[in-house]
Amino acid sequence: MDLDAYVNEHGGQWRRLERLARRRRLPAAEVDELVALYQRAGTHLSVIRSRSPDPALVARLTRIVLSARATLTGTPVFSWRAVGQFFTADFPAAVRAAWRWWCAVATVFTVLSLALMQYVAGHPEVQTAMMSPQDIDKLVNQDFAGYYSQYGPQNFALEVWTHNALLTGACLAAGVVLLPVLYLLWGNAVNLGVVGGIMIGNGHGAEFFGLVTPHGLLELTAVFVAAGTGLRVGWSWIAPGPDRTRGQSLTAAARSAMPVALGLACVLAVSGLLEAFVTPSPLPTAARVGTGLVVWLAFLGYVVVCGRRRPSGIGDG
């Protein structure tokens, strides 16, 4: 193919397409012209790539075609209305849709953690099998409380936020195969149960709950929501129901879970602020616990009230 002759023949159409693609508003006739030129330029680009792939020309024509496509399809525009729709309907509705799942996760996790705490607290030999007496003494009298104030509040808030966001993201993503979520929950329940049991068994139970509760209520609820939503996605292809294929059921469940990931990142940012600024603060224990309790109840109320505004495609499950 004579590339120079091809460019001379069609170059005028490309330049015209480039000029039209740069305009913000086009009358109907020019929109029709833009569509026709876009289709021709796409064909020309395909011909050049297959017969005489000159890199500079291919790059130029690709840019023109992409610019025209963007003009035809429109560019996404940021909208505060969409942000409001997400936080007042999409996210709370997605959380509420999976409430049976994450409430079940919360119940099992809480019962298991408390049972482990009681067992470890009542069996000193179990404590010493896991940690040396020196390490237990250091944990109880220094490390546990010191953990919340070892870094600057702003740095600590960012650290716990990213850590918890990764955990909830893993629960959501791994839910499709179920078992990894159960493993993550088991690991966290054991860790909480063992540490809590050691603290309680050594007379520091009030300190343990006084430090964990202010941020833990909201933080653990976010983990439960992520795990429950992830398990719901996994169960959707195991038991799709009579009206859907496994693929359709999985697609619908995954789509309804997508708002949860972004929404929980915001929830965990709040719990990170609580953990960094409220938990280690010099406020009385009742004030710190009360603050965490109010924030947690506000979140649950938000889900119950705003979750009633159910977007299409999100249903109870």
Report the pLDDT value the prediction gives residue 112, as an integer from 0 to 100: 97
The least confident of 21-30, 283-292, 303-312 is: 303-312
- Report yes or no on 156 lying in a domain: yes
> Over the stretch 56-85, which tens digit does the pLDDT of each residue have?
888 889 999 998 888 887 666 667 888 888
- Report yes or no on 255 lying in a domain: yes
Pair (9, 46) in one structural domain: yes
Which amino acid, residue 143?
Answer: D
CB 222 within 8 A of CB 268: yes
Determine the angle formed by the axes of helices 246-273 and 205-238, rounding to 10 degrees: 160
With tokens 């999409």, the residue in question is: 90
- Report yes or no on 33 lying in a domain: yes
- The mean of the pLDDT values for the chain is 90
- Report yes or no on 8 lying in a domain: yes
Write b or e for each residue in 114-126: b if 16 or more Cβ atoms lie within 10 A of its Cβ, otherwise e.
eebbeebbeeeeb
> Over the stretch 268-285, which tens digit does the pLDDT of each residue have?
999 999 999 999 999 999
pLDDT over 60 (residue 311): no
Pair (17, 147) in one structural domain: no
* Arithmetic mean of pLDDT, 207-235: 96
Report the pLDDT value the prediction gives residue 23, as an integer from 0 to 100: 83
State the DSSP code for 283: S
pLDDT over 90 (residue 24): no
- Report yes or no on 83 lying in a domain: no
Residue where a domain stops, chosen among 18, 49, 73: 73
Q: Count other Cβ atoms within 10 Å, centred on residue 243.
A: 7
Gap between the Cα atoms of 258 and 101, Å rounded? 16
Pair (41, 114) in one structural domain: no
The least confident of 71-75, 170-174, 200-204, 299-303 is: 71-75
Gap between the Cα atoms of 118 and 197, Å rounded? 6
| Dihedral angle over CA of 157, 298, 169, 175, nearest 10 | 150
Determine the angle formed by the axes of helices 3-22 and 28-51, rounding to 10 degrees: 150
> Over the stretch 79-128, which tens digit does the pLDDT of each residue have?
788 888 899 999 999 999 999 999 999 999 999 999 999 999 999 999 99
CB 157 within 8 A of CB 276: yes
> Over the stretch 232-254, which tens digit does the pLDDT of each residue have?
999 999 998 888 888 888 888 88
Report the pLDDT value the prediction gives residue 312, as an integer from 0 to 100: 45
Pair (61, 101) in one structural domain: no
Domain enclosing residue 244, as ranges: 88-306
Pair (62, 119) in one structural domain: no
pLDDT over 60 (residue 313): no
Report the pLDDT value the prediction gives residue 277, as an integer from 0 to 100: 96
Q: Which residues contact 85 (CB under 8 A, 6 or more apart)?
A: 311
Pair (45, 93) in one structural domain: no
Pair (299, 167) in one structural domain: yes
Q: What distance, in Å, lies between the first and last C-alpha atoms of the chain?
A: 61
- Report yes or no on 14 lying in a domain: yes
Tokens of 189: 């329940």
Q: Which residues contact 277 (CB under 8 A, 6 or more apart)?
A: 153, 157
Pair (92, 69) in one structural domain: no
Pair (109, 216) in one structural domain: yes
* Arithmetic mean of pLDDT, 281-295: 96
Q: Which pLDDT band holds residue 36 (cuts at 50, 70, 90)?
A: very high
With tokens 């997400």, the residue in question is: 86
Pair (132, 45) in one structural domain: no
Report the pLDDT value the prediction gives residue 76, as an integer from 0 to 100: 61
Pair (56, 98) in one structural domain: no
With tokens 């569509």, the residue in question is: 35
Q: Which residue has the higher pLDDT, 26 or 153?
A: 153
Q: How many structural domains comprise the chain?
A: 2
User: Strand locations in the chain, DSSP E?
Assistant: none
Pair (20, 137) in one structural domain: no
- Report yes or no on 81 lying in a domain: no
- Report yes or no on 38 lying in a domain: yes
pLDDT over 80 (residue 315): no
